[in-house]
Structure 1
Amino acid sequence: MAFLKLFTISLSLLLLISPSLSLSSSSSSSSSSIHNLLRSKGLPAGLLPEEVNSYTFSEDGHLEVFLDAPCLTKYENRVFFERVVTANLTYGSLIGVKGLQQEELFVWLPVKDIIVDDPSSGLILFDIGIAYKQLSLSLFEDPPHCKPQDGLRNHVRKEKGFKAQR
């Protein structure tokens, strides 16, 4: 009888604790808090655009960022964000980035890692596969606005005197 009572109490406690365990392993929030999360991990908030819809971040460091649609923005060069961007987030780095590309000399290259080794240097390192690129941290202070992929391409064509063909 005592065993059954102990089992019932243990089961009740497990059921009460299990929802809180699942919440602590993953969090989902709005775009403003993704920028706060980046800052808390030693990275600039402007690595991700304002248009982030939501994100999940698990205890093992896996980060998934969700945008409403793929979009383009510009830091030093143009950058393309897919609808979902994933990476392993640790202090000072985003490793194994997927869903982010940077334009270099008219070629789109995937960004693989983003690292801030020494914040006092004022530099951030981008691994774009074939090379490492160092940029000023000041380029990433504020989250940029990201334009829908087609909207930015048409805007560039119009500036250069070309009409968008349909």
Structure 2
Amino acid sequence: MAKLNYLLVIFPLLILSASSQSPPPTAAPTPAPTVYEILPKYGLPSGLLPDSVTNYTLTEDGDFEVTLAKPCYIEFDYTVYYEKSISGKLSIGSITNLKGIQVQRFFFLWFDVDEIKVDLPPSDSIYFTVGLLTNDSILTTRS
């Protein structure tokens, strides 16, 4: 009988001890910021990219790649074409080494946009630098 009483006391203590040793619940991981949240941190407007971004990567040194659901056109003061994949180097107030964005000028000719800049402090202007144009190499548009 003493053995039975001993087991009745020890068994619940073992269960309580085992349950108290389970790891504490972990907090849910913080979701990564969207590209639309990243752009303003670099002084760039969040509406600079189309709303169809499906994925992006950004390295510590600013190299980035953005994937869109499909290529698209956006009307600023000029028609801007965005390829499905866009890449470049992000820094405060600008995107350089840009690939995947073109702007239409001069009788439906398309030119690659090499760089996008904004004024710091921010204004309503966005500057698309187009390397092939000599006299008018910076196109200004209002955001």
TM-score (norm 2): 0.69
Residues 119/50 of structure 1: CA separation in 2 closer, same or farther (3 Å cut): same
Which residue number corresponds to residue 122 of structure 1? 124
What SS does structure 2 have at the residue aligned with 1:69?
Answer: coil
Displacement after TM superposition at 1:71 (Å): 1.5
Within-5 A mapping of 1:78-89: 78-89=79-90
Q: Comparing both chains, which one has the higher relative contact order based on Cα–Cα distances under 8 Å and sequence gaps of 6 or more?
A: 1
Q: How many angstroms apart in 2 are the aligned matches of 1:109 and 1:97? A: 12
What SS does structure 1 have at the residue aligned with 2:64?
Answer: strand
Within-5 A mapping of 1:109-148: 109-129=111-131, 130=133, 131-136=137-142, 139=143
Q: How many angstroms apart in 2 are the aligned matches of 1:29 and 1:82? A: 24
Q: How many angstroms apart in 2 are the aligned matches of 1:110 and 1:36? A: 26
Residues 134/77 of structure 1: CA separation in 2 closer, same or farther (3 Å cut): closer
Displacement after TM superposition at 1:104 (Å): 0.8
- The answer as to 2:95 corresponding to 1:94 is yes
Bigger radius of gyration: 2
Bigger fraction of residues in helix:
1
Which residue number corresponds to residue 64 of structure 2? 63
What SS does structure 2 have at the residue aligned with 1:119?
Answer: coil
Residues 29/52 of structure 1: CA separation in 2 closer, same or farther (3 Å cut): farther
1:80 aligned partner, one-letter code: Y
Q: How many angstroms apart in 2 are the aligned matches of 1:40 and 1:89? A: 10
Write out per-residue CA displacement over residues 45-88 of structure 1, whole angstroms, 9 at most, x where no aligned residue.
11100001110000011010001221122111211111100010
Identity %, equivalent residues:
35
Aligned residues: 108
2:141 aligned partner, one-letter code: L
Within-5 A mapping of 1:3-22: none
Name structure 1 gaps, 5 residues minimum: 1-27, 140-166
What SS does structure 2 have at the residue aligned with 1:39?
Answer: helix
Displacement after TM superposition at 1:92 (Å): 0.7
| Conservation of the 8 A alpha-carbon contact between 2:125 and 2:141 | yes
Q: How many angstroms apart in 2 are the aligned matches of 1:73 and 1:35? A: 16
Name structure 2 gaps, 5 residues minimum: 1-30
- Computed over aligned residues only, the root mean square deviation of the Cα atoms, in angstroms, reads 1.8
